[in-house]
Amino acid sequence: MGRLISIVSGKGGTGKTTTTANLAIALGKLGKNVCAIDADLTMANLSLVMGVDAAEITLHDVLAGEFPLEEAIYVVPQYENVYMIPAAVDWQHVIKADPRNLPKLIKPLKNHFDFILIDCPAGLQMDAMSAMLSSEEVILITNPEISCLTDSMKVGFVLKKAGLNVLGFVLNRYGRSKNDIPPDIAEEVMEVPLLTVIPEDPAIREATLEGVPVVAYKPKSKGAKAFMELAEKIVSMGNENR
């Protein structure tokens, strides 16, 4: 059975989508079959990062009851073992999609993939909760700023209460400022394990502008190596629980 992991944060702009894309490709490089889902139904940026353009059938269409989920699953040909369920980018699709249907749609994917990564909206609104509760495990994404850390900590607390397994958190964009909160202090604030530190790396920004995740764009960069380490840790955590 596959693992359902939601990628979440307390506020927007922390790097959830970048993490989802890079983790998916990194897991694919490790030989795992991965499906990345863009469950941020209002922003829908995962397609841009992963290079899946002009999808005719999206998650919005499935949530509206117009197509089965299987028809919204796309092979991402440039990356080995990676599939994607994209979301639409226009408001007409947003209006007709009911996010409350996400859990019953996503959970059966466990039978077909090793990992299902869900790029969730930020916060604790209904659409975000529907996406997060589609999973069984959680990775929190935060930046090294106290407001971002505390917001993500609150989300993790709520999801623990809901019965999800919070694997830990990713400290993203570390080293951007001399005022960044150090990893050990961040771990004290978050009250969950630190999975990895993603450094502030120009290669990640360059890759984003090119529409190619950094693990494929510059695999020897510091950022790419950190994402690969995250993938290896997530795989090992699953093996420990068996």
Beta bridge partner(s), residue 198: 172
Token pair, residue 199, equals 């450094």
**Tens of pLDDT, residues 70-90:** 999 999 999 999 999 999 877
Cα torsion 180, 181, 187, 189 to 10°: value is -130
Angle at alpha carbon of residue 127, lines to 151 and 82, rounded to 5°: 90
* β-sheet bridge partners, residue 165: 137
pLDDT score of 52 more than 90: no
Check residue 96 and give its pLDDT: 86
**Domains, the chain, ranges and CATH?**
3-240 (3.40.50.300)
- pLDDT tens-digit readout, 3-12: 999 999 999 9
Q: Where does the pLDDT of residue 32 fall: very low under 50, low under 70, confident under 90, or very high at 90 and above? A: very high
Is 121's pLDDT higher than 50?
A: yes
Q: Does the pLDDT at position 241 exceed 80?
A: no
**How far apart are the C-alpha atoms of 167 and 194, rounded to whole Å?**
9
Distance between CA atoms of residues 96 and 128, nearest Å: 17
Q: What are the pLDDT digits (tens) for 156-214?
A: 999 999 999 999 999 999 999 999 999 999 999 999 999 999 999 999 999 988 989 99
Give the tokens for residue 36: 């990345």
pLDDT over threshold 90, residue 138 = yes
Residue 242, pLDDT above cutoff 50? no
Query: Which one, of 43, 16, 10, lies nearest residue 145 by Cα?
Result: 10
Across the range 17-31, mean pLDDT stands at 98
Share of the chain above pLDDT 70, in %: 98
Band (69; pLDDT cuts 50, 70, 90): very high
Does residue 50 carry a pLDDT above 70? yes
**Each residue's pLDDT tens digit, 85-119:** 999 877 677 788 889 999 999 999 999 999 999 99
- List of long-range contacts for 47-50, beta carbons under 8 Å, 24+ apart: 47/84, 47/86, 47/87, 47/89, 48/211, 49/17, 49/18, 49/21, 49/208, 49/211, 49/213, 50/21, 50/24, 50/76, 50/79, 50/82, 50/84, 50/213
Cα–Cα dist 91/95, whole Å: 6
Provide the β-strand partners of residue 174: 199
Q: Residue 127 and residue 164: Cα distance in Å, rounded?
A: 17
Residue 239 pLDDT > 80, yes or no?
Answer: no
Distance CA 63, CA 69 (A): 9
pLDDT at site 15: 95
The rounded mean pLDDT for the chain is 94
Q: Which residue has the higher pLDDT, 228 or 49?
A: 228
The band of 240, judged by pLDDT with boundaries at 50, 70 and 90, is low
Q: What angle do CA 116, 122, 128 make, to 5 degrees?
A: 65
